[in-house]
Structure 1
Amino acid sequence: MWIQTAEVQYFRNIRHIKCTFAPGVNVIYGVNAQGKTNMLEALYMLVTGRSFRGSPDKDLIPWNPPEFYAATIVRAQVDSKISGSDKFLLSFDQTQKCIMVNDVPLKRLGELIGKFNCVLFTPFDLDLVTGPPTRRRRFVDLLLSQIDAQYLYHLQRYDKALRQCNMTLKYARSNPKVLEQLFPWQEQMSEHGSEVIMSRRRYLQEIDALASAAYTRFAKEASEEFSLHYMTNQAFAECASATDVSQLLLRTMRNRTDDDIGRGFVSVGPHRDDLALNLYGRSADDFASQGQQRSIAIALKQAELELLTQIRGERPMLMLDDILSELDENRRRALIDFMPEDVQTFVTTTDATLIQALHRVEKSFNMDAGMITDGEDSQNQGQ
């Protein structure tokens, strides 16, 4: 799966860009704040329909659009060995969003998931080990949403019910009568939350095996054994079915309602889950060196790529956003070796000399003030 051509119009500092990309390694270089990450962000929106930075659509529109501005547009021609050649178009303004595949509008965002897959690796991901649980849940949710449309469906409805429950709990402090509105939302949370938990249990076992194997390939010592474990409520982990989880989750929420009114939020459910990342059987957050923690992040991303390949039947696209400069020489080499030859890869960097370390660069681009220009064709550069 690879982007053949792309066009981006009125996206952050990008006014209008049209590019033809190579099916292998594409490098976008330039000094900071010129639009390199913006370009990847725009392309990634064709994967999920949303910004990987978590920005709302209105923040993606230029601060000073021209008078004739109609909409922000991202379009691409994507080639796939499974589905052939597909045209993707995403357009939005301050009030509405439209996504089309092969000129057919999608009725909802969930229909986009799985049509175009990508593994994104940014400096933000280097903190997967030491960052808060929300960061690890986001890693899991982005991956499983690309793999399983039903996972995204249940996750979105769980999140909606959670927001409603939290709002009702806060109001209940001063107006207990609103608790009548809480119980239907708790039922929604238990129904969809149970499916989220069971999917995480299933897929994270596969991710554990893939990440463990990936880590051993570039660990300095053979004894460096990495593993991950899904941390949810122990009682949920022991349930045999989604129905059992749903019943237990609903019962637990009802029992905690009085305490949760005082807290002002729901204190149990998959939104409280985490991943335990272990080295030598101990918490990597506590015992792993910074270098080992970064190796774990690389291993998790490699596992993500392999799982997407296994389930989707073809390689996803790979985006490395200014990540090479964050690594020491050994881990930079490990990451470069991790880039399979049959994967379209986008690499952004502020250091043009790092291009020399990338052996299979097929095309390079210079980004300056939101404008992109082709560099010299760099086939076989660095060899």
Structure 2
Amino acid sequence: MRILHVLDHSIPLHSGYTFRTRNILREQRKRGWETAHVTSLKQGPFAAAEEDVDGLRFYRTAPSRNPLYRLPLLDQWAVVETLARRIVEVAATERPDILHAHSPALNGLAALRAGRHLGLPVVYECRAFWEDAAVDHGTSTEGGLRYRATRALETHVFRRAVAVTTICEGLRSDIAARGIDASKITVIPNAVNIEEFGQAREPDPELRGQLGLNGKRVIGFIGSFYGYEGLPLLIEALPALLAATPELRLLLVGGGPEEARIRTRIRELAVEEAVVLAGRVPHCDVQAYYHLVDILVYPRLPMRLTDLVTPLKPLEAMAEERLVAASDVGGHRELIEDGVTGRLFPAGDAAALATCVAEMLANEEGAHGIREAGRRFVAEERNWPKSVARYQHIYAALADGSHG
């Protein structure tokens, strides 16, 4: 079976999107499926039309020379036009049985267009609703014209793809509510490569010393600093936590649009000495930072995006046998069983966050069982082999022509 994956962007760029893709492709190949991969204009500049990265060959899409495609709106259609043509070109070489397009909807539109030309079925994978992310980034307003147009385009893709996959139950329910047959939708959940994560080790004494964490209790956040992550709320909870545990330190690893606001809030609350901003670190070094932290805190704010979408970072933390405290938004409730694999606190409530973390710091006796339960959940339920196996019934049905 040969699958041509249609992607927004890929490695060597680093993002949750590219890492999920890489893990899916690796696991599909382990199952004996042949994969090929084409990226859209969103990949950005590239050195060659075909690029080998980590043992995977990616076909890149060149920008259009039409000057009209530089204009607003038309630049988005250029993504569809150029990608559809590139899919057809790549298909002539790779001879796929199935086109598998991944978010956003522009990739789905391109795949549907190429699929009609090639006579191939199209699977569409929705990883998030990009209109909701645009609201948080300030480039769209919920219910506005751009928001409704983006949503309508993706619904169009859902209806015309022969099968739809998505990453969690929250997204699956929303897709089904648009009138899409529930039997057509399969959840392929985010997972952790248990061979890379899950090797719990003692903290690196040199790194701990460099960061000034010797002899300290450490809570932390590792990830991107977006508004919906609620990191200022974590800063606001810090004075109450320090009153009970003066040796506490907050380790923030990452960066993003909210960094300036976070630094401002740290100064306003005069907690500079208790916060360590480590900045962005290479993906290969992230585990060393997990090992420094006693409790990972994820204070996501309540909104459509966080209620519908499951994050990956809490799974990584549980795989590393770290304690996890998270807000009770829908995406977290899919991953964390309160009091069993982690703790949940009311979203948007700094006082509740402080109380939850303080209780966890004080309850060292119960910590071991929670760490073990979290690790077991990831190892047994959220590993890539189990997750990718869910594609089997979709691809098998399409390969034998039962899609109609």
TM-score normalized by structure 2? 0.27
Between structures 1 and 2, the one with greater strand share:
1
Q: Which has the higher contact order (CA 8 A, sep 6+)?
A: 1
